[in-house]
Amino acid sequence: MSTLENLEGAFAGESMANRKYLAFAKKADDEGFPQIAKLFRAAAAAETVHAHNHLEIMNGIKSTEENLREAIEGETYEFEEMYPAFITQAKKEDNGKAAWSFDVANQVEAIHAELYKKALDNAGNNDEVDYYVCEVCGNTVENGAPDVCPICGAPASKFKKID
């Protein structure tokens, strides 16, 4: 394997570890282990440092315009190709939980692509908006949480304002 392939693999692994450790931290908090949760969050932060280092060395961070175009491309691939295939497979295997998870992600990826397109179209002249994310399905909305999430039905209290 080449160094570039190793960097790509390391970036993927560190990124996955970050997300996994944050999920582990949430579970530790829920189970009453705050110190262990803090350790998982610290390790997750370190994994983010590693992932960012690898991405930078791979020249994976470009101008904001190029980054937006790449994000649009990635989100579009996910909702047009990747998730539809995943949903079909999960349904074939009668795995309703996986099908639901893939379906809500699929719907949200389309929203992300549109938000990125809007940002790109208005780059340098973007209106200031607040973003809210549904902690159940990931739905991402502008300027306030809806009373009920249109994707998963969660109440407004499940939306987190992103700073």
Domain 63-124 architecture: Up-down Bundle (1.20)
Check for a shared fold between 63-124 and 128-163. Answer: no
In 3D space, the residue among 66, 11, 14 whose CA is nearest the CA of residue 3 turns out to be 11
Domain 128-163 architecture: Single Sheet (2.20)
pLDDT of residue 66: 97
Domain 3-57 architecture: Up-down Bundle (1.20)
pLDDT of residue 61: 96
pTM listed for this prediction: 0.90
Alpha carbon 162 to chain centroid, angstroms:
13
Q: What is the pLDDT of residues 71-127, one digit of tens each?
A: 999 999 999 999 999 999 999 999 999 999 999 999 999 999 999 999 999 998 988
Q: What is the pLDDT of residues 26-51, one digit of tens each?
A: 999 999 999 999 999 999 999 999 99
Is 101 exposed, middle or buried, given 0-12, 13-18 or 19+ CB atoms closer than 10 A? middle
Every domain of the chain and the residues it spans: 3-57, 63-124, 128-163
